Structure 1
Amino acid sequence: MSGKRLFAVRGATTTERNTEQEILSQTKTLLQELIDKNDLSREQDIVSVMFTATKDLTACFPAKAARKLGWTNTPLMCAQEIDVDDSLPKCIRVLIQYYAPEDHSPQAVYLKDARKLRPDLINE
């Protein structure tokens, strides 16, 4: 891939409730924000996406939101986040690996209560 290099970017969000609609809505918002901030052209540049969800989110897989965005050929994986004492509840995290121009600077996205996870990366 001439002129491009492999990058990875993180993001996270939280939900109010453990419902399929809420999980899909918040994950879709997170993914759209990551696409916009990193100028991703979806499946052409994305190599793979890893999602984790805290143990209190069981209504659906967050990856389903990516499929609803049209990512039908992108490898997606979901896992349960490690259950650490006093960790942020109802949290969905994502790691996207993608190709971009060599001078690209990945822009992480942390929404809702997940902003507490990495306040150093919040760009307002």
Structure 2
Amino acid sequence: MIRGIRGATTITVDNAEAVFTATQQLAIEMALQNDIAPDDVASVIISTTPDITSSFPAKAVRMLDGWNYVPVMCTHEMNVSESLPKCIRIMMHVNTDVNQQDVVHIYLNDAVTLRPDLVKK
């Protein structure tokens, strides 16, 4: 069965190094917390707020060991007023037998404010 695993993080400055570091940290944590190997991943969609323009976060995921064949796509979030700035979101579609309520969604940095109900204390 395919399940979606959500994750989000923020960066403080829009540059390629910050985007790559934050994206890789988030993807790795999502995989670790859900015991996901690259071969379990059907696809990954990464969105950024419109204030992130320095690089493609999908490239950061494809650079992870074993992830070079995982289909990854980038897009921008809607430009909603008062939304969380400099935010990177990942929706990872994975093959898993884990029940929906047992999936661990990961929110890092200022993104913990997006879904406090899903953030593990």
TM range (shorter): over 0.9
Instruction: Point out where structure 2 has 5 or more consecutive residues left out of the alignment.
Output: none
Map 1:74-93 to 2 at 5 A. 74-93=70-89
Shift of 1:101: 2.3
Q: Which runs of 5+ in 1 are unaligned?
A: none
Counterparts of residues 61-72 of structure 1 (less than 5 Å): 61-70=56-65, 71-72=67-68
User: Partners of 2:41 and 2:13 in 1: how far apart?
Assistant: 29
Q: Superposition RMSD on alpha carbons, in Å?
A: 1.1
If you compute each CA radius of gyration, which structure gives the higher value, 1 or 2? 1
Give the counterpart of 1:116 among 107, 113, 116: 113
**Which of 90, 100, 109 is the matching residue for 2:96?**
100
TM-score by length of 1: 0.92
Aligned residues: 119
The DSSP-based 3-state class of the residue aligned with 2:104 is coil
In structure 2, which of residues 7, 14, 17 is the aligned counterpart of residue 18 of structure 1? 14
Among candidates 34, 50, 53, match of residue 48 of structure 2: 53
Shift of residue 102, structure 1, vs aligned partner = 4.7
2:24 maps to which of 17, 22, 28: 28
